[in-house]
Structures are given as structure tokens and as C-alpha cells.
Structure 1
């Protein structure tokens, strides 16, 4: 992705969040985001601190309860029929969040720095139901990859309480760039293929550790000062707001305190490394990619790793179109390297700074897989800014869901809850 495209992506992201505007094929999509800001003093609340044990933070949040990367969330159960959240000083004003009860459709609202927002009332869809979810499960997700929120307090009705919701038993993590983060999709992180797989699996925890423009190679790429081979080991992403909070000393991600450990890690990196503007050699790319997988294997010894084949858009080819690809041989060689007896008998672990030989906690066996993307997308599934359309993201998610089901035996157990918001398009005119 060219630098001017990355800047345009950031600019459009900021505009869409601040103004509550979604552009659809260059036209403004009609939205009706409720204004949920309230004066908390006008309500009789029972209030909980941001670090209370009943709150489950999904994705990556730092110790200040500030969200980063793509589609981070907050989940908890509650009694009664009211929920409000107060957002801290590190909330970017106007950040668009989605929230819901159980598997109901997402509702979106723009939250404010230092503001309190009433997100659940007696009129909220699903709040009066006890079947099939009891206690009521509240979920909030940050939609924009470039912005974030800070949780200050959570409120329920007087005399009511928060309830801990146990995590699901299986977990998947995505490590990527703008293609995984949902850049240029309608609801960004909540329209990405990565979110679509995590949510579409059903009863699965998911992390989307992805940020636009980032390389796997540890160098500057489209304004990102570090690559994923380094940044994956930290709570925060490479955004300007993260730099404003943590400066040159970002907080390391505490892998030991993760609520669940990923069973599958999907990596989609190399689109930015492959761009000639970033001047990344094939040798540097392979070295960084290997180190990242070595880091994943060290932190998650039991995890299966899926390496995604790159798709780099399409070009006109005679009277049709052809797909660009990159680092095909390099990626296949990486997969073969990690599944070789030489590596499995003496694995080398990367901790973000150094490589060390390490005895893993479980016996090593082949664990790296190659997911081919060629043929899933066609040229009209890529938007003008070189990223998948909403339909394109759904196509990638659908194929990857089936790949995970066939490769790892994971059942698809989401049989009703909304995944992608506002994709219910139809034609009910029977003659035209």
C-alpha cells in the first residue's frame, strides 16, 4: 500500500469516526447511531472499577485499560437492565464502538473522552430475555483500528451486579496488517475477514493483532516505526496515540496473564514488505517471518500456525484480469523449514530481541500450515484503495472458516448471532 494511500486510509478513518459517517461507493451511507452520552449523576448506579475481576478484556489492552490493534473488546455478565461505561482520558473522542446483548445485532455509538455512555436500557434488544443466555452477556468492541478507548468505570443499576463470564474453550489469533485489520471496510475491524473468522466460528475467543501499513520486517513501513517481528511482543500497536501514551518504552504484552492461550495463530504479513517503496529484500523478509513464528512457537507451544498466501490485488491482463502475488516460494519454504526434522528436533525461539535454543513444554511435531488464497477473490472484490470490499472480506472469511474446519476439526457453532453488520441486502421485486 502506497504511503499516500496509508495517509488517506488514516484520514478517512478519522473522519468516519469523528463525524459518524460511512462512505459506500463514494456516497454517504445513511446511519442512525444513537447518542448515548449521559450525566451519571442523574442516575442511581452501582459502579465498578476498570480492573474488577468480573470484566473480561478481549484482544490487547494495556495496564491502563487502553485498547489497541483491531476489534478489541470488553465482555461481562450483568443483572438488571442497565449498563453504562465511563471512558477515560486516553479515549480518542468520537471513537465508534459496537455493543450488544448476547448474539443480537450490533448497535454502534460514538463515545467521548471522559464521558459516560448508557449502552443498555430496558428497551435494548435482548435485555429482557433469559434464554438461551443467562446471565445476560454484554459485549463491546472498538471498530476503528486507528483509534481506541480507555475503560474508566462500568455501571449497572443500583442493587444489581456484574457477573463473570467464563472464556470460551478455544482461541484463535490473527497477526497481520491492514488486510486483517479491516482497513477500508465499512466497520473496519468489525468488517474484517479476521473478525469474521473469529466471530463466525462461534464460541471462540479471538485476537486480531493487526495494524495497517506494518511490515513483518523490523523497519519503518508507511509510518510504522517497527515491524511485527518486534511489535507483536507488546501491548500497544505502532499508532501515534500509542506513542503518545508510552513514548519510546511501550509496555510488553504479558503472555502469562492472557485469559486463554491461542490454539491457532493465522499470519497474513508481507503485502507491505513486498512493496518496492519499502525496500525489503526477500532474505530480510524470510528472516523476520521465521523469527515471528519462532516467537509464536515459544509463547504458544501447543498452537498450530497458519501461513496465509499473499494476495496483492489484480491487474488487467488482455481481455481479463490476473492476480498479483508475492513471496510465494519464500512462504512455502518457511512452512517446510518449520515442519522439518531439523527444526522440530532443536527449535529456536525468538523473544522479540534475541534468538535462543529452548526446550518446549510439549513434544514438538509439525505445526505450520499453508492456506492458499489464490482464486478466492476476483478483481471486483478489491476496492479502489487496494483492499477487499465487504463482500471480499466475507469471501476470505468463509473459505478460511472451512479450511480451519477441515484441517483442525473445529466445528462451526455460530448458528444465528450476527457477525457482519448491515450486509442484509436483498431484492424483493419479482418482475423487472
Structure 2
């Protein structure tokens, strides 16, 4: 259930802020999302200059299709601009009231719910930090991310002030591709994909591009798993995910993803098998091992210069005597895949055992926000030590609304 996108009853669009329901430890978490919807803007509207969604100045992050519809987990857009206004018009294939995060420059993320077939203004003359007179940071940058994994937006147009322009922001030189299921996509985390360890790692490095091709319930093996019609050994090669909205728009014929049209990944991180390991999906360890061996080879052909990291699985935690113990999944099989490719030099093994403790897991058998941060932190240090990647983030917010502190010294 995508709790972050359910509106409270009685909400009306006239309110300056929109509120949504997020459950935090089973209790309602106070939210104050910005109300950004404005009157429609067209190419002939006074005071605005309109760019089509295929404008070269707009950089699309993650997977977007030929209709400029976003897919998978935490996709986004990024561009520079001049002037004092930025608005986006969203198309009919935008999920109702999907929650997005947006920010100006390196300031904190803001949240808002998006309406299909509507225009939302994100930057205005009152935006904090806009057009600084002292030590201005140019170009001015706008960034937007879909927070969810099963919902998305369709970009129909980008608008700036009539005398302003968009500016192409060059991609970072390094990129990461995440391939996973509900764990990588942040299911049950506060802001879903936007709180998941995939996003935390990609955004945490600061100076890398990243794409999170992950969807809850999906198997590695090409099989029906938790209502997902195909596994990642098939779906990863396609633009759309396995969501009901993808089936509604494209049926059983999703677009193939054109890898050649995008920069090849330098690093691929795979966390798959938790769903294959569930008895509900009736798959054997032999099927899983065969699928994994084949999949790694195919990933390497797509990204021939990439280093591939296979993550061990932390399936669950259970009470044992007077303590708790982690239960893995396909421990031997994943290590066998690593051993098979080890001498070729591009496959590596990240042992996640011990990173999480039982209280880093929520009731839905998925990491808490803090659990995701722990996984990301350990993986980032592994990448840093293994491949020499230095941390590029140096201040701008990565995780949203995790600012907890205590100012009371005597208690």
C-alpha cells in the first residue's frame, strides 16, 4: 500500500499546504506537503516560455519511455534555468496524487502531490536562495524525483519565465545501475524509493548518476512472482516495470530499453532472490542458480566495463532462545555465482550478514528507514575501499525528514 500518496479526507485544493498520510511506527506522522498546482499553462500563456518534454536541456534520470512516462523506482528530471519561475505540466498517464520530491540547487527537498493533466509551479520569485546577489551559485538547478516505486508521472511540458531559458546540466562521469526488488526499491520505508538503500547509495556519492531498476515482489527467475508476470531476467531489458499501470498502458508488450542510447554503467549492484526463495512462488534453488549465472553474463554484455556487485540476502530475523538470529536466503547459490565469475575480475561479493539487526526490520519484513541507511552506509564504504570511489556529497540533503536530536542534557 502506498501510504505516502493517500490524501486525508476533507482536503481541498484551496489549502496552501497539502497533507498526506504516512504511518510512522503505526501512528500518523505529521506531514505538510506544499500545494503547487496552478492554473493551466500553455505555449501561448502570457509570462511563460514553454519547452517540449523532448527538449535536449532536460535530463531524465532512471527509466522513462517514449511518451515521457516514468517507471521503476525514484526516477527524476534535472535541468538548469535562468529567471525566477519553473513549472511543469503533467500528462494523463500521471498516477493520481503521486508524491514527488523537488528542490532548488542544494537546498532541502520539498514534497508535493501531483495531479494528472495539470500544471504545478515549483520555483517562484519567493523561492529561498533564488537569484542570490552575494556569491550566487550558477547555473540555477532544478531537480525532481518521484518518491514511489509503483507510481509515476508523465511530463508534458516544462515552463520558465518568458524571457528565460533552460540549461543542460552535464551528467556526472560515473554511474550506478541498481537491479532489485522491494528491498532496493524501498517498500514500506517512509518515502518508499526515496528512502530506500538504492537511492541512498546513488545520491550519497553525490557525483554519480544512478538508476534503480527495482520493483516489489519481482523474482530474478523469469516467473510469475507475487502477481509480477515476469522476472528481472526478462523485465530488466525493458523500459516499463511490472506494475498494473504498465499493463494498462502497454499490455504485455513493454518497450525494450535502449541501452545504447544511455551511458554504460560503471557499477552494477544486484540484490535479487528474496522472492525466488519464498515457497509461495514455487521456485527451486537450481532454477535460481541457473538464472543468476545467465543473468550476470547478460548484464556484463550490456555494461562491458562495469564492476558487478552481488549482494547476499538478509531474508528475515527470528527469535532463537533468548535472542534473535538473521536468516539468509540462497547463501550458497549467490556465492557460487561469485565463484564462477571471480577469476574474470568484474564480479564481486558483498556479504550483508550482520549489517542489520532485528530492530532494523519493520513488521512488513522490510528495513526501516534507519535499516536502509545502514545498508547504504556499509555498501558505500565497501565501494570506496574496493574501487576507490570517493564521496562527493558534502552538505545537500540526501535523506528527508530524518533530523532527530535531543537538546535536553538532564533527563
Query: Normalising to structure 1: TM-score of the pair?
Result: 0.90
Q: More deviation in 406-415 or 15-24?
A: 15-24
> Which of 352, 374, 378 lines up with 1:395 in the alignment?
374
Match of 2:214 in 1: 210
Quick check: 1:17–1:144 contact (8 Å CA) kept in 2?
no
Aligned-pair CA distance for 1:12? 3.8
Secondary structure of the residue that 2:144 maps to in structure 1? strand
Match of 2:65 among 37, 62, 65: 62
**What count of residue pairs does the alignment treat as equivalent?**
398
Structure 2 match to 1:198: 202
Match of 2:401 among 398, 401, 422: 422
Tell whether the 8 Å contact from 1:87 to 1:149 is kept in structure 2 after alignment.
yes
Q: Distance in 2 between matches of 1:117 and 1:319?
A: 54
Q: For the Cα contact (< 8 Å) 2:4–2:191, is it kept in 1? A: no
Counterpart-to-counterpart distance in 2, 1:133 and 1:400 = 31
Take 1:204 and 1:11, find their aligned partners in 2: how far apart are those partners? Answer: 28
1:129: how far off? 3.7
Deviation at 1:102, TM superposition (A): 1.8
Pick the structure with more strand per residue: 2
Mark the CA change 1:173 to 1:132 in structure 2 (over 3 Å): closer, same or farther: farther
Question: In the alignment, is residue 169 of structure 1 matched against residue 173 of structure 2?
Answer: yes
Range that drifts further, 41-50 or 207-216? 41-50
Shift of 1:14: 5.3
* 1:168 to 1:186, Cα distance in 2 relative to 1, 3 A: same
In 2, the alpha carbon distance for the partners of 1:290 and 1:98 equals: 37
Quote the Cα distance in structure 2 between the aligned partners of 1:133 and 1:168: 18
**Within 2, Cα distance between the matches of 1:86 and 1:279?**
44
The verdict on how the C-alpha distance between 1:292 and 1:17 changes in structure 2, with shifts beyond 3 A counting, is farther
1:14–1:424 distance in 2 versus 1, CA, 3 Å: closer
Q: 1:28 maps to which residue?
A: 28
Q: Report if aligned partners of 1:47, 1:154 keep a CA contact under 8 Å in 2.
A: yes
- Residue of structure 1 in register with 2:288 after alignment: 285
Structure 2: stretches of 5+ with no match in the other structure? 10-18
- 8 Å contact kept, 1:17–1:110: no
| Separation in 2, partners of 1:241, 1:372 | 35
Residue ranges of structure 1 left out of the alignment (5+ in a row): 1-9, 341-364
Counterpart of 1:104 in 2: which secondary structure? Answer: coil
CA distance in 1, matches of 2:268, 2:373: 19
